Amino acid sequence: MKPLNPTFAGAGTTIFTVMSSLANQHGAVNLGQGFPDTDGPLALRERAAQALIEGPNQYPPMMGVESLRQALAAHAKRFYDLNYDWRGEIVVTSGGTEALTASIMGLVKPGDEVVLIEPAYDSYRPIVEAVGGIPKPIRLAAPGWQLTEAALAAAFGPKTKAILLNSPMNPAGKVFLPDELKLLASFLTRFDALAICDEVYEHLTFDGIRHAPLATLPGMYERCVRVGSAGKIFSLTGWKVGWVEGPAALIGAVAKAHQFITFTTPTALQIAVAHGLNAAEDYYLTLAKELEGNRDYLARELAQIGFEPLPAQGTYFLTTDIRKLRFNGSDVDFCKHITEHARVAAIPLSVFFTGEAPQHLVRFAFCKQRSVLEEAVKRLATHFKRN
């Protein structure tokens, strides 16, 4: 047989699937893959159910159901004072994952360099490579994960087409600061480059920190596409309703990719998400508060056990330094070990880096009921006392 596409044929299964399977196998509390263990608002689920029964159930418009694109335009205006024309500047996709894929396929051509900020979400690199782009990693360092001028200067060059910016950032839990965004904006202008802004955790920020899209900075509207996900906003990760917002010239190209990837996204779910964006703002603002409490609880308890929690200003995730636990092995070994023996699953950070990666950082998801986090803490405390 002739060689298959090496980007995919040579790839392993994603760490999220690997760790969730291992967690199931061992009856572990799954703090690995990031998904809430309670479903989002009943009002949205009822609206989706009603739409399934009453229709429409045929293809919605390729760009997305009109009411959803209008609700997204209003949402971007309300929170960020961004003005996107729902007719040509917003495209609805099957989750943030497709939004990212369509953005990369639509904007990046073979030979273009694409800057990836590591630790980087795992879907970025393979899609950049699949379209013939050349990933240029920037490596941030714990605990502050600061984006520096030196790192940007080393990665940007005349062939730089785009950067992928994930803020709030998975797995680091970092929200990029205004100064870092300004610095990045200056590089985008200088090198005439674009930003694919993965903002799926836009509403999940803590300690009074507000997410600020890069697109709101002077001159950045024209250079940025913003990726969002109803899965994260409404705790409905299985719905896979996402979107991309940006200037018409960029969204036009992204939509051309989208039309050949999925073409559309289930109509009933789009109708329900439109309803949610218009009427269920309280849900996600309260969710951020709950998550903040969970972060504090988990950080405090893990610290008692010997983990060293890093700061987390957003997302579902808390990264911890495990060196004080004196485990003999890599972060991947550690995560497998605690899944099997403490029966709590987590995610090793090394998988989000290319090349030699730090081996002492482990991510726990805290988008879970408090009783579930308590059970996880109890199991880890028992395990590490015994060892």
**In the complex, which residues of this chain contact ligand GLN (CB under 6 A)?**
14, 16, 33-34, 170
Supply the minimum distance, in Å, between the C-beta of residue 192 and ligand GLN: 31
Q: Which long-range contacts (CB under 8 A, 24 or more apart) does 325-328 make?
A: 325/384
Alpha helix locations (H) across 108-223?
124-130, 149-155, 178-190
**Distance separating alpha carbons of residues 168 and 211, to the nearest angstrom:** 7
Kindly state the smallest distance separating residue 185's Cβ from ligand GLN, in Å: 26
Minimum CB separation of residue 85 from ligand GLN in Å reads: 30
* 60 versus 348: smaller Cβ distance to ligand GLN: 348
**Side-chain half-sphere CA neighbours of 336 within 13 A:** 8
Question: Based on CB atoms, which residue is closest to ligand GLN, 198 or 292?
Answer: 198
- Residue number, 37 or 46, with CB nearest to ligand GLN: 37
When the beta carbons of 172 and 257 are compared against ligand GLN, the nearer one is 172
Q: In sequence order, what E strands does the chain have?
A: 29-30, 90-93, 113-118, 134-139, 160-166, 194-198, 224-229, 242-245, 308-309, 317-321, 344-345, 347-348, 361-365
Give the residue from 256, 108, 126 showing the smallest Cα distance to 196.
Answer: 108
Name which of 14 and 186 has its Cβ closer to ligand GLN.
Answer: 14
CB of 14 to ligand GLN, least distance (A): 6
Helix (H, G, I), strand (E, B) or coil at 117: strand
- Helix-strand-coil percent breakdown of the chain, rounded to 5? 50, 15, 35
Task: Answer for the pair 271, 245: CB distance below 8 angstroms, yes or no.
Answer: no
How far apart are CB 80 and ligand GLN at their closest, in Å? 23
Q: Does an H or E element contain 24, and which? A: helix 15-26
Nearer to ligand GLN, 34 or 168 (CB): 34
Q: How far apart are CA 94 and CA 258, in angstroms?
A: 9
Rounded Cα gap, residues 137 and 117, in angstroms = 6
Q: How far is the CB of 20 from ligand GLN (least distance, A)?
A: 8
Nearest distance in Å: CB 32, ligand GLN: 7
Q: 206 vs 366, which CB is nearer to ligand GLN? A: 366
Residue with Cβ nearer ligand GLN (19 or 51) = 19
Residue 341 Cβ vs ligand GLN, minimum distance, rounded to whole Å: 22
Q: What is the distance between the alpha carbons of residues 387 and 381, in angstroms, rounded to a whole number?
A: 10
